[in-house]
Amino acid sequence: MAALLCGFLASNVAFSAEAFVIKDIRVNGLQRITAGAVFNALSIKVGDAFEDDRSGGVIRELFHMGFFSDVSVEQDNDVLIIRVKERPAITSIEMEGNDDIETEKLLEAFKDVGMAVGRVFNPLVLDKVKNELLQQYYNNGKYSAEVETTVTTLERNRVAVLISIVEGSAASIKKINIVGNKSFSDEEILDEFELTGPTLFSFYTNSDQYSKQKLSADLERINSFYQNRGYINFKVVSTQVTISPDKNGIYVTINLDEGKVHTVSEVKLAGELIVNPNRLIPFVIVQPGSVFSRKKATQTSENITTILGHEGHSFANVNMIPEIDDETSTVKVTFFVDPGKRVYVRRIIMEGNTKTRDEVLRREIRQMEAAPISTLSVEHSKSRLSRLGHFDEVDVETMPVPGTADQVDVKYTVKEKSSGNILAGAGFSQSQGLVLNASISQNNFLGTGKRMSASFNNSAVNTVYSLGYTNPYYTIDGVSRGYNISYRTTDADEANTSNYSTETFNAGVNFGFPLNESDKIGLGVDLEFTSLDLGYDPATVKQGYIDDGFTAAEAQALLGQTGNFALDNGESYTNLKVSAVWGTDTRNRAVFATRGGSKRLSGVITVPGSDIEFYKISYNQKQYFPITPHTTLYLNGDFGYGDSYGDAEKLPFFENYYAGGKGSVRGFTDNTLGPRDVFDDPTGGNVKIVGNAEFVFPVPFLADSNTVRLSTFIDAGNVYDDELDLGEIRYSVGVSAKWLSPFGPLSFSIAQPMNKGEGDEVQSFQFSFGSGI
């Protein structure tokens, strides 16, 4: 302002009273700014008549450029001389003390208001930046924050800017007062708040740290709380926020006007009802005679909008219009339907699939081209693409076609993930010891969506070699076909069960048949060769017992189930197995899910004529219930039953179910629950029942991590021989941690059995690394 005043004074002194015609314009004092930029900013030009009163306009135009700190105008005969002093350029901007806000983000914000390295320095802009920074800290409850700026003048008309910040500590809420509430207590209302006074855990949750944004959100929660309970005229009259003299304490007072409870007297549908009202009525959850609820009214509008979207009206609007009668405390609710035009899909566009063939994506799409758009089909198609496992990200965008009012293009954008893996690793499990594994897999072979794999796994319990191939679209209708071949050796003694080992070769083919969009059944046939090794000749051992004076019955008991089974069925078996499975999966992700669930019912039977005739039926169900944005209740149930038929007397012991340990009832040693033989070795059983309940919560400071989870749990279960006895169910409680580390999955648990029985083996601390999670 001082420079502008000086400019006016200079013009008044330097000009004669007579006008003159400008023959030339000279600009003196330019260093970085070009003369062309100055001339472009001026409204006068050579040949114009110049009078004394035009000097003020010239000065204003040049100051408006923002590049000059001083401007003056002079006359030399018929030459207009403009003298300027350029503002300095910013050569550096440094920040110190800003722990809460990243320097990079601040510098980007400074650039938007015109302060950046290389730009002209403007003290007014720096003052604006200082005030905005203080406001940011005030909004976050840091009222003792201080911001100081230092401008250092350098040679060649440059400056260095230093912004020093003392953030201070956030002011904590000492008390929140609610005034005017008659129907609900302070505690009921404050339970809806994110902000709180001092609590036992506020040091971690920061719920007592004041924030203007949090308070606004809490006021909206109060409004929803009351309006969902019939108080349609509820309002927040005023809010007072008082800061203590030391700026470290805050007192919040909220004044309410509750109004009266209103009930719904009538519900109507109006507007253009292109859908039969009988289809819409079941989705109208606001009912006459009920207490008015804003939440139910909003949900009804969304329900109707969704139905219209399924019919091709993706831009439909459904507005709830209340007619309030304060005298009778009732409200008439009208849902006004504006369906808009029916919209058709012109094209479906795929982007980002650099490796995967277009047909692999398009066969998952349930929205057809040239057909009315269905929001359900569009979103369901996105889910199907995500479940393929070929992509890290899947996004969908609906774009109006230019020049039309009833056509859109639907674009699916994917980000390819590595579909091939060559893995080699090692792990350790208390039940299996050192685990070595290696695999080569290609889940999207040559972009066709077909899966091929070869793997090796070795531990103290199992050694497995396997090959697999699956074509998920063997037919155009989505019927899958797969082949598998494997070789497995098992040392049962290392798994805490009976002393025997098996050697199994398996080859099979399987088919999958989709029943609908979420359910699928599978059928498989496997030819299996099993060789049993007891480490002794059961006939010789039995005869030895008899020679030692035992009766035949006593010798049979001492021989145990393994020896007796080998005597009755031999030690080598060829079985043809037929299997069937039904499954559905609605989890939001396969690992560490937070909502949805899965169900799986499976059965396997050896066909008549096999060496051992038996069958097994298993059912598993998992369900995830989100409690809060970062906590989940996980429930799991597992049931299995097996038996023999035909000439076989009972289920083969090496097909028995086992319980105890990781993935079962934690706190008990792996595979040790249930029946035991005369040598006190666990034998498993043909009936299994296991249940788990876990409350999953975030790791402190890692609330959004998808690779780590903590939980408290209750486990229950056991295995039985023929007869189910719920009184023998074993229970345990404990805590668990799981981590998908870069080196492989790691899990551990600490559990305490609640009803340890005689002979049960307890193992409170259990862990595994690199062997599944």
Report the pLDDT value the prediction gives residue 422, as an integer from 0 to 100: 47
More confident call, 325 vs 741: 325
Q: Do 636 and 691 touch, CB atoms closer than 8 A?
A: yes
292 pLDDT above the threshold of 90: yes
Task: Give pLDDT, residue 423.
Answer: 46
With contact defined as beta carbons under 8 Å apart, do 168 and 160 qualify? no
To the question of pTM greater than 0.75 for the whole model, the response is no
Residue 758 identity: E
Q: Residue 225 — pLDDT band, cuts 50, 70, 90?
A: very high
For CA atoms 642, 645, 647, 649, give the dihedral sign.
positive
Closest CA to 656 of 756, 561, 559: 561
- C-alpha span between 721 and 682 (Å, rounded): 12
**Mean per-residue pLDDT for 201-229?**
86
Alpha helices in 268-395 (DSSP H): 277-280, 294-310, 358-362, 375-387
Across 645-720, the runs of DSSP E, i.e. the strands, are 667-668, 687-697, 708-720
- 521 or 205, greater pLDDT: 521
pLDDT of 50 > 70? The answer is: yes
Q: Which of 332, 306, 313, 333 is nearest to 272 (CA)?
A: 313
Pairwise pLDDT comparison (639 vs 376), residue with the higher score: 639
What average pLDDT does the chain have?
86
- Helix (H) or strand (E) holding 60, with range, is helix 55-64
* Cα-Cα-Cα-Cα dihedral sign, residues 485, 491, 495, 500: positive
Rounded distance between C-alpha atoms, residue 162 and residue 251, angstroms: 35
Phi, psi of 247 (to 5 degrees): 65, 20
C-beta of residue 667 within 8 angstroms of C-beta of residue 734: yes
> Backbone phi, then psi, for 40, in 5-degree steps?
-65, -30
Cα separation, 287 vs 277, whole angstroms = 15
pLDDT, residue 302, reads: 92
Residue 324 has pLDDT above 90, yes or no: yes
pLDDT for 11 equals 39
Q: Provide the strand spans (E) within 67-124.
A: 68-76, 79-86, 89-96
- pLDDT number for residue 662: 85
Alpha carbon separation from 73 to 9, 22, 79, 188 (Å, rounded): 10, 13, 11, 71
Query: Do 284 and 265 touch, CB atoms closer than 8 A?
Result: no
661: left (phi over 0), alpha (psi -120 to 50) or beta: left
Give me the residue label for tokens 């005229």: 233
What is the pLDDT, as a whole number, of residue 171? Answer: 79
User: For the segment 386-426, what is each residue's pLDDT rounded down to a tens digit?
Assistant: 878 788 788 999 999 999 988 999 999 998 876 554 444 44
For 450-460, what is the mean pLDDT? Answer: 76
Q: Which amino acid is at 573?
A: Y
- Specify the pairing of strand 89-96 against strand 391-400: unpaired
**Non-local CB neighbours of 158 within 8 Å, separated by 6+ positions:** 88, 89, 90, 91
Q: Which residue is listed with tokens 């006190």?
A: 680
CA angle 288, 269, 232 (to 5 degrees): 50
Residue 619 has pLDDT above 90, yes or no: yes
Q: What is the mean pLDDT of residues 737-758?
A: 83
Give CA separation, 403 vs 60, 265, 315, 399, 400, in Å: 45, 45, 17, 12, 9
Q: Six-digit token pair at 165?
A: 């910040």
Q: How many residues does the chain have?
A: 773
Q: What is the pLDDT of residues 262-286, one digit of tens each?
A: 999 999 999 988 888 888 888 999 9
- pLDDT grade for 448, boundaries at 50, 70 and 90: confident
Please give the order of strands across the beta sheet that includes 407-416: 344-351, 407-416, 391-400
For the chain, helix (H) and strand (E) counts, in that order, are: 14, 35
**pLDDT tens profile 57-100:** 888 888 888 888 888 988 888 888 999 988 888 999 999 988 88
Q: Per-residue pLDDT tens for 571-608?
A: 899 999 999 999 998 887 767 888 889 999 999 999 99
Residue 56 sits at φ, ψ, to 5 deg, of: -60, -40
Measured between alpha carbons, how far is residue 291 from residues 230, 263, 302, 331, 409 in Å? Answer: 5, 4, 20, 9, 43
Question: Whose CA is closest to 717, among 681, 677, 757?
Answer: 757
- Cα separation, 101 vs 121, whole angstroms: 23
Quick: pLDDT tens for 669-724. 888 898 887 778 788 899 999 999 999 988 876 655 667 889 999 999 999 988 88
Per-residue confidence (pLDDT) for residue 172, from 0 to 100: 85
| pLDDT recorded at residue 430 | 44
For 205-228, letters b (16+ CB in 10 Å) and e give ebbbbbbeebbeebeeebbbbbbb
pLDDT tens digit string along 140-180? 778 888 899 999 999 888 899 999 999 887 778 889 999 99
Contact, 379 vs 319, CB < 8 A? no
Q: How far is CA 505 from the centre of its chain?
A: 41
Query: Which of 251, 240, 143 has the alpha carbon at shortest distance from 197?
Result: 251
Cα 753 from Cα 46, distance rounded (Å): 98
Instruction: Using DSSP, state whether 31 is helix, strand or coil.
Output: coil
Q: What are phi and psi of 209, to 5 degrees?
A: -90, 120
φ, ψ dihedrals at 540, nearest 5° = -65, -40
- Give CA–CA dist 461/491, Å, rounded: 5
Distance CA 567, CA 541 (A): 11
107 band by pLDDT with thresholds 50, 70 and 90: confident
User: What's the rounded Cα separation, in Å, for the pair 38 and 242?
Assistant: 52
Of all residues in the chain, what percent carry a pLDDT higher than 70?
Answer: 91
| Helix, strand, coil share (%) of the chain residues, nearest 5 | 20, 45, 35
Helix (H), strand (E) at residue 111: helix 103-112
Q: What whole-number percentage of the chain has pLDDT above 90?
A: 41
Most confident of 202-206, 351-355, 555-559: 351-355
**Rounded Cα distance, 187 and 447, in Å:** 59
pLDDT at 744: 63
User: Is 432 a residue whose pLDDT tops 50?
Assistant: no
Q: What is the pLDDT of residue 647?
A: 82
pLDDT band at 6 (very low <50, low <70, confident <90, very high): very low
Is the separation of the CB atoms in 380 and 351 below 8 Å? no
pLDDT value, residue 671? 84
Q: Are 175 and 243 in contact (CB under 8 A)?
A: no
Question: How far, in Å, CA of 9 to CA of 728, rounded?
Answer: 103
- State the Cα–Cα distance between residues 441 and 424, nearest whole angstrom: 12
Specify whether the CB–CB gap between 745 and 738 falls below 8 A.
Answer: yes
CA dist 529 → 448, 469, 585 (Å): 33, 21, 33
CA distance 766 to 772: 14
Q: Give the pLDDT confidence of 550-569 residue by residue, as tens digits.
A: 888 888 878 777 888 888 88
